[in-house]
Amino acid sequence: HVQEEIKKRYSFPNFIDGAVYSFNIGYRKPEENIYRIAADNAKALPENCIFIDDQLENVQAAIRIGFIGIHFSSYKRLKADLLKNGIII
């Protein structure tokens, strides 16, 4: 199963509450419902969720429904953006 393979290959899914996979729910980025479902899965309000993506269109869609959006361009920038939001990595 693709979801299990992702978890085996990468460690980041273990640190994400509410992770959703489009093949499981029938929505894809930048459809706004995918972000709402992710927030619901995490039992969080959108304004308490951070969405990171390298595609600006996807980040903008998350921001429209209230997420904190971070447009990924480099690790250094991501680290600074996360720190700005109180997350130290």
User: Could you read off the pLDDT of 50-61 as tens digits, one per residue?
Assistant: 999 999 999 999
Q: What CA–CA distance (Å, rounded) separates 6 from 14?
A: 10
Predicted pLDDT of residue 15? 72
Predicted pLDDT of residue 12? 67
Contact 28, 48 (CB under 8 A): no
Domain ranges of the chain: 2-84
**CATH pick for 2-84 out of 3.20.20.70, 3.40.50.20, 3.40.50.1000, 3.40.50.1820:** 3.40.50.1000
Q: What CA–CA distance (Å, rounded) separates 77 from 14?
A: 22
Check whether 24 has a pLDDT greater than 80.
yes
One-letter identity of residue 72:
F
Predicted pLDDT of residue 3? 65
Q: How far is CA 57 from CA 22, 69, 89, in A?
A: 16, 11, 25
Predicted pLDDT of residue 64? 98
Q: What is the pTM of this model?
A: 0.81
Place of tokens 């130290």: 88
